[in-house]
Amino acid sequence: MSRNAESTAFRSALEVIRAVEPRVADAIGAELADQRESLKLIASENYASPATLLAMGNWFSDKYAEGTVGRRFYAGCQNVDTVEALAAEHAQELFGAAHAYVQPHSGIDANLVAFWAVLADRVESPALKKAQVRQVNDLTEADWFALRRELGNQRMLGMSLDAGGHLTHGFRPNISGKMFDQRSYGTDPATGLIDYDRVAEAAREFKPLILVGGYSAYPRKVNFRILREIADSVGATFMVDMAHFAGLVAGKVFTGDFDPVPHAHIVTTTTHKSLRGPRGGMVLCQPELADQVDRGCPMVLGGPLPHVMAAKAVALAEARRPDFADYAQRIVDNSQALAEGLLRRGAKLVTGGTDNHLVLIDVSGYGLTGRQAEQALLDSGIVTNRNSVPQDPNGAWYTSGIRIGTPALTTRGLGTAEMDQTAELIHTVLTQTTAGANADGTPSKAKYTLDAGLADKIARQATDLLATYPLYPGVDLS
């Protein structure tokens, strides 16, 4: 697409929106301006291409399309069939997967589809039917225990939250924690790395129905061959959530033992992180689970979003181009350069570095909580998110860590030299921020002090760093 075409497309869209609700048009324009001016280091965010973004704003949004390709509950879905089939075809070719299901609206939805696909032959139990007549929120702990027992006392073994696992891997605040009796495997306290012998020991003791691999804040590669061997040894289904690192798999940075697709029974992912597509989810699986996975709607999903599936098809087609592999490698190069820059300046990193797209800083070395560090960095034009570290004394809300990632800045074109400059900006902010106190004089986990002049200076430096790498250079809204 030419730059003139991109500008015309987005400018025209905003004009149409402005005629109905100008405040929405203003907010859209302001979001682009904000993203252009700030260092986006949130590991789970990226920038989709103009083609991907435009694929979501069209008449496919008006269609109901429950069912699957060629088997819809609504008439008139022939064009939806086309884009869904294209998205699935691109996904299968890109990842070498036997089957792809591209309907999930999010990563959580993709995980739910996977869980229920594994449990499918048990979900018609009398206990579940009885439970459905009550409000889920009214169920007691005893109710959930009885339900799990009726369904086969299903068990899930996955990475603990503080070690880098995800909320949807069996933890109580998420529905997966209601569905499964969950146990976690952590990391070695000395190294922060997965101890596969301990995972095997936990699997032998717990005998899970599902062994989950994958992470949201683990900065190293995972050996999926070993995890599959552990799963097989206890008769477990091996599921991998690759939402964070799917782009590194697609770009062939992670291959062999570190590519989950050949080893897992079922793989889930989002499409908007390192894969650089629209916000959405996807499930890849072996043939024996395909029929159950394809029942995701209406099993746990609402109606598919055809406009998002169209955007997934576009993004997956982009990921099959040769330049995507170069992009994926640069993500890791940048992540490692950022880690090295922080280490040289005295920062403490979980596992001492990174193999992938993310870096986890233990900010307790700066005398701060994750919440204090996150806000101080935001004041300075650096967008990150707080995150737990292994054995975190501050819990999951205040945390002791900051998670940063390089997919978005790599999309903008920044390289390893700019990562070192970014490390300097981060380190300066954190060293100049001091923890605050509550009104009664006790230490606060949220309040902090940072000179406003310094914050403004860092924000200007961040903007200057980005000036050479404009975001959506083909889009001029003026």
- Kindly report, residue by residue over 211-259, the tens digit of the pLDDT: 999 998 999 999 999 999 999 999 899 999 999 999 999 999 999 999 9
87 and 232, same domain (yes or no): yes
Residue 451 tokens read as 């000179």
296, 319, 342 - which closes a domain: 319
Question: What's the CATH number where 361 sits?
Answer: 3.90.1150.10
Q: Is residue 151 part of a domain?
A: yes
Residue 281 confidence (pLDDT): 97
Quick one: 214 and 358 in the same domain?
no
Decide if 63 is catalytic.
no
Give yes or no: residues 351 and 444 share one domain.
yes
Residue type at 239?
M
Are 111 and 247 within one domain?
A: yes
% of the chain with per-residue pLDDT over 90: 77
Q: How confident is the model at residue 126 (pLDDT cuts 50, 70, 90)?
A: very low
Asked if residue 212 and residue 71 are part of one domain, the reply reads yes
pLDDT of residue 124: 44
Positive or negative, the CA dihedral 299, 304, 308, 313 is positive
Total domain count for the chain? 2
The pLDDT of residue 441: 85
Q: Which of 319, 349, 379 is the last residue of a domain?
A: 319
* 210 within 8 A of 157, measured Cβ to Cβ: yes
Same domain, 157 and 133: yes
Q: Is 66 a catalytic residue?
A: yes
* First-residue to last-residue Cα distance in the chain: 19
- Among 66, 89, 143, 229, the one annotated catalytic: 66
Are 249 and 181 contained in the same domain?
yes
Are 290 and 362 found together in one domain? Answer: no
pLDDT band for 3, please (50, 70, 90 cuts). Answer: low
SS3 126: helix
Residues 167 and 290 in one domain: yes
Q: Assign 231 to helix, strand or coil.
A: helix
Catalytic residue among 68, 270, 351, 422: 270
Q: Which of 344-353, 357-366, 379-388, 390-399 has the lowest mean pLDDT?
A: 390-399
Q: How big is the CA angle at 3 (ends 405 and 61), to the nearest 5 degrees?
A: 70
Contact call for residues 371 and 8 (beta carbons, < 8 A):
no
Report the alpha-carbon angle 425-357-185, nearest 5: 115
Average pLDDT value for residue range 295-322:
94
The whole domain housing 358 covers 326-467
Which residue among 319, 337, 371 closes a domain? 319
Tell me whether residue 46 is in a domain: no
What pLDDT sits at residue 265? 95
The verdict on whether 273 is a catalytic residue reads yes
Sign of CA dihedral 458, 459, 461, 466: positive
Catalytic residue among 162, 181, 241, 259: 241
Query: pLDDT at residue 84 above 60?
Result: yes
Per-residue confidence band for 199, with pLDDT thresholds at 50, 70 and 90 = very high
| Residue 125: pLDDT over 50 | no
- CA 446 – CA 24 distance, rounded (Å): 32
From the candidates 36, 155, 220, 273, which is the catalytic residue?
Answer: 273
Confirm whether pTM is higher than 0.85. Answer: yes
In the block, tokens 């990842």 appear at: 95
Q: Which residues contact 417 (CB under 8 A, 6 or more apart)?
A: none
Q: Is residue 263 part of a domain?
A: yes
List strands edge to edge, sheet with 385-387: 358-362, 401-405, 385-387
Do 363 and 447 fall within a single domain?
yes
Q: Which residue has the tokens 């797209």?
A: 357
Same domain, 64 and 136: yes
Same domain, 373 and 460: yes
Annotated active-site residue 294? The verdict is no
Which tokens go with 69?
A: 């390709």
Is the Cβ–Cβ distance between 399 and 371 less than 8 Å? Answer: yes
